[in-house]
Chains A and B, each alone.
Chain A
Amino acid sequence: MSDTFQLDGAAVPFEAGQTVMQAALAAGHYIPHLCYHPEFKPHGSCKLCTVKVNGRTAASCTMPAEAGLNVESDIEEMNSLRRTLVQMLFAEGNHFCPSCEKSGNCMLQALGYDLEVRTAGFRHMYPDRPLDASHPDILLDFNRCILCELCVRASSEVDGKNVFGLSGRGITKQLIVNAASGLLKDTDIALKDKAMQVCPVGVILPKRVGFSIPIGKRRYDQRPISAQALDDAPRQADASGSCDVCEGTP
């Protein structure tokens, strides 16, 4: 019998080495997150998964599960902080959902709806981030980047290519492409790469797909992101390591 910790009053079993997030998802408990992906080493950067552990805040994706922990996640105090974080992400980039082809399949948008983010909250920064459309089959729209580094990790750890990286510090930090020209066309990225499948927002896009999935059939049209936790938790890998959730909804 495995050990357990308490999550919002429910006992959650865990295996040795699991984080709070891993154990919670495996047990069918959803904790909001953006930069966490079960196939990659926890990153702890988006802070959406912040929970209270024995009264102190911690990122659940990096917090090791321990027997007897009292974890509070779905409480107004945490959800209010999450709303603020989502608002900041929206304000920092250029997220024009009405004309974004990732609408309906976007984790940031889905979290916004699920957390009931009703206002912008902050003055939009409207950064100037030109597109990289140089690659014949792949478009990069940096306007929507939330710096989760999932593409950086996927390209490095799975694809073995190091196509992406982050450059700069603080508010000037940005996603860059690993080529002397700085253009995607001069990298060896391919459509089948893992880096193409993991972007939670609409930065890395296969060209000419656009709005081919009708409204009603998109990932988050039928059920909110939180309600999908029990049967197809976002980015939960199966035993073979493939990610059915990611496939087809790049």
Chain B
Amino acid sequence: MTDKLDNLETAAHPENLRRVAIDPVSRVEGHGKVTLLLDENDRVHQVRLHIVEFRGFEKFVQGRPYWEAPVMVQRLCGICPVSHHIAASKAMDMIVGATLTPTAEKVRRLMHYGQILQSHALHFFHLCAPDLMFGFDSDVAKRNIVGIAAAYPEIAKQGVLLRKFGQEVIRVTAGKRIHGTGSIPGGVNKNVSIEERDYLLKDIEQIVTWSRESVGIAKQLFEQNLDLYTNFGRFKSHTLNLVRADGALDLYHGGLRARGMNGDTLFDHYDYSHYWDVIFEDVKPWSYMKFPFLRSLGPEAGWYRVGPLSRVTQCDFIPTPLAETQRKAFMAFNGGSAAGATLGFHWARMIEMLHAAEVIRDLLHDPDMQGTDLVNIGERQERGVGVIEAPRGTLIHHYKVDEHDQIVRCNLIVSTTHNNQAMNEAIRQVARQYIDGRKMTEGLLNHIEVAIRAFDPCLSCATHALGKMPLEVELLDVDGARVDVLTRSSDGVFS
């Protein structure tokens, strides 16, 4: 590796370099692009992941009544709105001085783990399985969920039904599959009735079984492609995640744990209501997405990784038996090599999906779910911080509310934002490994996207553009031949 490949964030002399853009990055939530600057010998000089959307929820929530926030801010996203719904609710719990009743916390947990289940299933089966099952540079025409359904119908069906079940859990607890209203400041607005519980219980054992098989698929991919899966886009980074007081994996609540790239603990069980003392955000001129860093290490060295890989590798244990068994196997695999691999995200994600299925099963059997004590309000506060582990990683919501109950300030640090520098590092590694000095092909460029997809980024959510997702609609005849096509570009122009 040459010296110039040590840092691909900024090219020393960008003039006269050839620019290659992956625009848009496909099979991710939201809209982003990757640019590579290459010289005449196809040597890579700069690689950047750009997030070209701008949302602005932090601004237009200002002036709104605080009880509106959990419903309004979840419109950031259609994939994991529950994450924002609950993070904002937790912040508003602080605003209203609430201590949640057992029923309220458990109904919220059920909603959240339903969200984890559906989002992880969507990501693994719909968005990433085409790369993983067919190969990164396989026929692009088949490298999609329809291709998976044709080649592996049983796996595709399981993916669809796993997601459906998670969505049903959300519907039961939040009122709607997408953008419900179940979580409110100080609690929830409904419990889970006996009928609703039994409706979900009739399928839960199948869901647990399919989730366990999904972990097996992820593991098998590593076993069959050990060198590729272990080394693809591999890099070392610090980590950040919530853990329960006893060190267990907990995706709903806990203290912040940060570990250095060599496993040293930087802080542990840190009260997230003062997150700004340990985390700060840097800004770069070429992206709408901020770059958070650990204050103690500074903006250059303090970037870190969040999400399933951090959570599963940094927790002390997973408090459900099937997922814990799988965690141990993951950590021990090939001397621990999967635990530091970028593609290890997928395996860890499936372990979390199994954990979510087990948690859902346990909660459904809990009589507190039918409790009627739903809201508990205490002494009003001015500031509220809510943090959860969303499907993609740590999610921070922070609000200040005035004496008239209006939000005057809002800061959101979402999972994908935490992973910003880590994703850039991953694609730079891939550029070094696969692109540098070679003739560019679609398959090679897809390697970059495979690295980004491992993080399950939600790019729209991370930047806080309204409705500019590029879209292509094809009209096919019965033989699959294209009859017509309509394309909408990222600037909204149809052709």
Q: Which residues of A contact B (CB under 8 A)?
A: 98-99, 101, 130-131, 133-134, 139, 207-217
Q: Which residue on A lies nearest to B179, using beta carbons?
A: A98
Question: Of B72, B176, B180, B375, which contacts A99 at CB under 8 A?
Answer: B72
Does B67 lie within 8 Å of A210, measured CB to CB? Answer: yes
Measured between beta carbons, the chain B residues less than 8 angstroms from A134 are 404
A210 and B405 in contact, given A98-B75, A215-B175, A215-B181 (Cβ under 8 angstroms): no
Measured between beta carbons, the chain B residues less than 8 angstroms from A214 are 175, 181-182, 189-190
* Bound CA–CA A214/B65 (angstroms): 19
Q: 6 tightest A-B contacts by CB?
A: A215-B175, A210-B67, A99-B72, A133-B404, A214-B190, A211-B181
Measured between beta carbons, the chain B residues less than 8 angstroms from A139 are 65, 405
Does A215 lie within 8 Å of B176, measured CB to CB? Answer: yes
Measured between beta carbons, the chain B residues less than 8 angstroms from A208 are 67, 96, 185, 405
Q: Which residue on B lies nearest to A98, using beta carbons?
A: B75
Please report whether the interface of chain B is mostly helix, strand, loop or mixed according to DSSP.
Answer: loop
B71 within 8 A of A: yes
Measured between beta carbons, the chain A residues less than 8 angstroms from B181 are 211, 214-215
Does B189 lie within 8 Å of A131, measured CB to CB? Answer: no
Measured between beta carbons, the chain A residues less than 8 angstroms from B96 are 208
Interface residues on B, range: 20 to 34
A233 to chain B, nearest CB (A): 27
Measured between beta carbons, the chain A residues less than 8 angstroms from B175 are 214-216
Which of B96-149 touch A at CB < 8 Å? 96
* Bound CA–CA A208/B182 (angstroms): 15
Give B153-183 as 1s and 0s: 1 = Cβ < 8 Å from A's Cβ atoms. 0000000000000000000001110011110
A103 to chain B, nearest CB (A): 8
* Bound CA–CA A208/B181 (angstroms): 14
Question: Of A99, A212, A215, A217, which contacts B68 at CB under 8 A?
Answer: A99
Question: Of A99, A133, A207, A213, which contacts B71 at CB under 8 A?
Answer: A99
* Bound CA–CA A133/B96 (angstroms): 17
A212 and B405 in contact, given A99-B68, A99-B71 (Cβ under 8 angstroms): no
Does A211 lie within 8 Å of B71, measured CB to CB? Answer: yes
Measured between beta carbons, the chain A residues less than 8 angstroms from B298 are none
Question: Of A98, A207, A210, A216, which contacts B184 at CB under 8 A?
Answer: A210
Measured between beta carbons, the chain B residues less than 8 angstroms from A131 are 63-65, 406
Sample (12) of A-B pairs whose CB atoms are under 8 Å apart? A101-B68, A131-B63, A133-B404, A134-B404, A208-B67, A209-B67, A211-B67, A211-B70, A211-B181, A211-B184, A214-B190, A215-B176
Question: Of B75, B189, B405, B406, which contacts A211 at CB under 8 A?
Answer: B189
Which of B165-221 touch A at CB < 8 Å? 174-176, 179-182, 184-185, 189-190
Does A207 lie within 8 Å of B75, measured CB to CB? Answer: no
Measured between beta carbons, the chain B residues less than 8 angstroms from A216 are 175
